[in-house]
């Protein structure tokens, strides 16, 4: 019960912040929001994904280094819903999933910046765990990639 209460506030703050920032528009660009206005559990991940379309990527799994085992453990997921096009601009629609794998009732989208076969996106990320070192992997129907070579502190 404590865990649920601890993370309810950041989820509500994120929802409120996105609703206020995006009122009147269908897409909220994370790059336009001052990071200092966000709760510490919310950040923007800027990702470069090679072979974005060809790999049929279904989502990103975030991993956090455990202080106990010194191994990376899965802590959350960003699930891709689809790609939509509006007025010549492509958007990646996605959902954040909590640690139990339940999608948050908060539809999100990100502008897709293409460079050949690769794509760059800025995605909202809600940290459900304590701060630490995080890595990412991508997955599709065939399986999951290795963890990213570089970690980031979140």
pLDDT digits (tens, 9 = 90+) for 31-68: 666 767 667 778 888 888 877 776 788 999 999 999 99
Mean pLDDT (whole number) for 127-147? 91
Within a domain: residue 90? yes
Mean pLDDT (whole number) for 18-37? 54
| Confidence tier at 3 by pLDDT (50, 70, 90) | very low
Q: Which residue has the higher pLDDT, 9 or 119?
A: 119
Within a domain: residue 111? yes
Q: Is the pLDDT confidence value at 5 over 60?
A: no
- Give the predicted TM-score (pTM) of the model: 0.75
Predicted confidence (pLDDT) per residue in 64-118, tens digit = 999 999 999 999 999 999 999 989 999 999 999 988 899 988 889 999 998 887 8
Instruction: Answer yes or no: are the C-beta atoms of 141 and 65 closer than 8 Å.
Output: no
Within a domain: residue 92? yes
* Domain count along the chain: 1
Q: What is the DSSP string of the chain?
A: -HHHHHHHHHHHHHHHHHHHHTTT-S---GGGS-GGGS-TTEEEEEEEETTTTTTT--EEEEEEE-TTT-SEEEEEEEEEEEEEEETTEEEEEEEEE-TTSPBPS--EEEE-EEETTEEEEEEEEE--S-S-EEEEEEEETTEEPPPPSS-EE-
Domain that holds residue 81: 2-147
Amino acid 81: pLDDT: 93
Amino acid 31: pLDDT: 63
Query: What is the phi/psi pair of residue 7, to 5°?
Result: -100, -10
Amino acid 26: pLDDT: 47
Within a domain: residue 153? no
Contacts of 144 (CB under 8 A, 6+ apart): 61, 137, 138
| Confidence tier at 27 by pLDDT (50, 70, 90) | low
Amino acid 29: pLDDT: 63
Within a domain: residue 100? yes
Within a domain: residue 124? yes
Within a domain: residue 154? no
């Amino acid at each position: 019960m404590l865990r649920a209460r601890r993370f309810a506030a950041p989820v509500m703050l994120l929802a409120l912040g996105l609703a206020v920032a995006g009122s009147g528009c269908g897409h909220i660009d994370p790059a336009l929001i001052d990071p200092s206005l966000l709760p510490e559990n919310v950040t923007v991940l800027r990702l470069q994904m090679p072979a974005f379309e060809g790999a049929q990527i279904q989502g990103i799994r975030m991993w956090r280094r455990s202080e106990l085992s010194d191994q990376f453990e899965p802590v959350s997921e960003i699930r891709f819903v689809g790609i939509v096009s509006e007025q010549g601009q492509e958007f990646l629609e996605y959902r954040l999933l909590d640690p139990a794998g339940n999608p948050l009732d908060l539809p999100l989208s990100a502008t897709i910046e293409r460079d050949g076969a690769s794509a760059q996106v800025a995605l909202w990320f809600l940290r459900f765990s304590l701060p630490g070192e995080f890595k990412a992997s991508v997955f599709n129907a065939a399986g999951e990639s290795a963890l990213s070579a570089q970690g980031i502190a979140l």
